[in-house]
Structure 1
Amino acid sequence: MKYFAVLLPMKDEEKSKEFRPAHLEFLARMKKEKKVVMFGRFADGAGGLVIYQGESLEDIESWVKQDPYVMNEARYYEIHEWDMVSE
């Protein structure tokens, strides 16, 4: 299993407010399915970060494109494979 850091920079603040509940529901579902490890917003309001786990970049991108923030153009996204160190 690989880890991927997904940055969600702010694109539209009003849309972000509008779609926040749906975004959080989506992430909760993905976490329950063990596709999301952790997530949170940046304290400065610039966006947020989601750590996904999956087999491939293609899998992760297909999931990210289902996020209400991305679907409704409230946020951009940027995906990076992440080599997590747990020590």
Structure 2
Amino acid sequence: MARFVLQMAFDGDPRRLEARPAHREHLRRLKEQGRLVTAGPWADDSGALHVYEVADEAELREILREDPYTAVNGYEIVSLREWTPIM
């Protein structure tokens, strides 16, 4: 398994807020499956940080394709990096 850190930025499009309940349900399912370690928005709601534990980047890209935010172009990927935590 590999860990990936995703940093995303939000724009002001109201469609993202409309998709938020479905997005959060998507994240809840991923957490239950053990594929999402943690996720949450920045305090100013300008974006968010997610940490995933998946087999590889291809699996993560599929997760992102299924995210309701993707359907409404609700975010921009600022950074997507594989991470090796030591603690």
TM-score by length of 1: 0.89
Task: List runs of 5+ in structure 1 lacking aligned partners.
Answer: none
Measured in 2, the distance between the counterparts of 1:17 and 1:3 equals 27
Tell me whether 72-81 or 48-57 shows the greater mean CA deviation.
72-81
Output aligned runs, 1:41-60, within 5 Å.
41-60=41-60
Structure 2 distance, partners of 1:61, 1:76, is 13
Q: 1:31, CA displacement in angstroms?
A: 0.5
1:1-87 pair list within 5 angstroms? 1-77=1-77, 78-86=79-87
CA deviation after TM superposition for structure 1 residue 12, in Å: 3.9
Q: CA deviation at 1:33?
A: 0.7
Q: Which runs of 5+ in 2 are unaligned?
A: none
1:80 partner amino acid: R
Map Cα deviations across residues 41-77 of structure 1 (whole Å, 9 max, x no partner). 0012211111111111111111111111112211122
User: How high is the sequence identity, in percent, across the aligned residues?
Assistant: 27
Q: TM-score, normalised by structure 2?
A: 0.89
| Amino acid of the structure 1 residue aligned with 2:83 | W
Aligned residues: 86
Instruction: Report the residue type matching 1:85 in the other structure.
Output: I
